[in-house]
């Protein structure tokens, strides 16, 4: 997961961390954040992150949600 997190951080300039299920090797919950002055841009970046992670070999996204403030 470290490699994927590093790639996401470097490609999209976002903050990313494992925030739950740290005791399980086959499952994790990731938190991703981006700061932007337009909600549209932030939403676009976060959707690209989800697509990117979904294309990683060996990773299956079970669920995700995007919250904009």
Length of the chain: 69
pLDDT in tens, 5-25: 999 999 999 999 999 977 777
Q: Hey, where are the domains in the chain?
A: 2-55
Q: How far is CA 16 from the centre of its chain?
A: 6
The H-or-E segment that residue 10 falls in is helix 2-12
Indicate whether 47 pLDDT > 80: yes
Q: What is the pLDDT of residue 23?
A: 75
pLDDT in tens, 26-44: 889 999 999 999 999 999 9
């Amino acid at each position: 997961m470290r490699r994927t997190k590093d790639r996401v951080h470097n490609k999209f300039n976002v903050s990313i961390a494992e925030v739950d299920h740290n005791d399980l090797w086959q499952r994790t919950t990731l938190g991703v954040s981006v700061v932007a002055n337009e909600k549209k841009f932030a939403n676009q970046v976060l959707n690209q992150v989800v697509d990117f992670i979904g294309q990683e070999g060996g990773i299956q996204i079970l669920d995700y949600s995007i919250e904009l403030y």
